């Protein structure tokens, strides 16, 4: 790299991978916390449920349906204490899926604040977060310049899109490895072998449900929506 040149995303391991949808646009119109009322909170969660359903390939997975139902139950409770903020479940799912609500660094930092002392904070014209290592993001040519500091060493990267800082935080604060993925098996949990017969039975029951017309209608609507084409088509229902 020439002297004085700015590195690109490859400047940091945290920004160099393609397992983050860098540059993807947000969707305007989705309400953000702090919500003004339960209706705004419901609008956010309903959009999140729709996004989850779009992420499935093939049949709607049993796990996806269960997660959407858990989100729906939170909204149905109508607990006035649940807004103006997102529930931990809705926030966690939003981070894990890079849900395209129109987050700004300020609004996402506020939503992340309950997660602990090392969440993003603004000061002196830049955003800082982390502990060891710690990071600082400064606006740069419509995107961001990122500095990583760890025990005296400093490395740098630049991200070209304004929304990339939000995506970086989503990646850094999501739970990439929920149990049992990438975990040693816990002695307090049942093993995959012990649960396998019941899982096969649930899969068989789910296969019967998948064949029903209402899920076929959803699959057709989903595939229409995912086609890369200008404009859109009328929903099937």
Give the pLDDT confidence of 40-85 residue by residue, as tens digits: 999 999 999 999 999 998 889 999 999 999 999 987 775 545 557 8
Please provide the DSSP assignment of 104-145 as one string. -HHHHHHHHGGG-TTS-EEETTEEEEESSSEEEEEEETTEEE
Which mean pLDDT values do the consecutive 10-residue runs of the chain (237 residues) have?
64 93 96 92 95 93 95 74 79 97 97 94 96 95 95 93 97 93 93 96 95 92 86 61
What is the C-alpha to C-alpha distance for residues 137 and 230, in angstroms, rounded to an integer?
A: 35
Contacts of 15 (CB under 8 A, 6+ apart): 9, 146, 157, 159, 168
The rounded distance, in Å, linking the Cα atoms of 139 and 165 is: 10
For the record, the structure tokens of 71 come out as 């989100």
Residue 92, token pair as written in the block: 């966690």
Residues in contact with 130: Cβ distance below 8 Å, sequence separation at least 6, in sequence order: 118
* Burial zone of 137 (CB within 10 Å; 0-12 exposed, 13-18 middle, 19+ buried): buried
Contact 9, 16 (CB under 8 A): yes
Residue 117: how many other CB atoms lie within 10 Å: 8
pTM of the model: 0.90
């Amino acid at each position: 790299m020439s002297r004085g040149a700015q590195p690109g995303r490859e400047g940091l391991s945290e920004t160099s991978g393609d397992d983050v949808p860098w540059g993807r646009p947000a969707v305007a119109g989705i309400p953000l916390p702090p919500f003004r009322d339960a209706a705004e909170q419901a609008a956010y969660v309903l959009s999140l449920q729709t996004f989850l359903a779009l992420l499935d390939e093939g049949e709607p997975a049993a796990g996806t349906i269960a997660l959407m139902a858990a989100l729906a139950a939170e909204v149905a409770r109508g607990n006035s204490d649940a807004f103006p903020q997102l529930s931990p479940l809705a926030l966690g799912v939003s981070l894990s899926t890079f849900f395209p609500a129109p987050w700004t660094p300020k609004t996402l930092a506020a939503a992340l604040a309950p997660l602990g002392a090392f969440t993003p904070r603004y000061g002196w014209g830049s955003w800082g977060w982390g502990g060891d290592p710690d990071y600082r993001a400064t606006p740069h040519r419509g995107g961001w310049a990122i500095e990583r500091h760890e025990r005296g060493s400093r490395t740098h990267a630049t991200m070209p899109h304004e929304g990339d800082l939000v995506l970086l935080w989503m990646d850094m604060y999501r739970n990439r490895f929920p149990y049992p993925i990438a975990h040693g098996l816990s002695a307090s949990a049942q093993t995959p072998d012990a649960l396998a017969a019941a899982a096969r039975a649930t899969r068989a029951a789910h296969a019967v449900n998948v064949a029903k017309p209402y899920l076929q209608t959803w699959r057709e609507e989903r595939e229409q929506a995912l086609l890369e084409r200008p404009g859109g088509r009328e929903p099937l229902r």
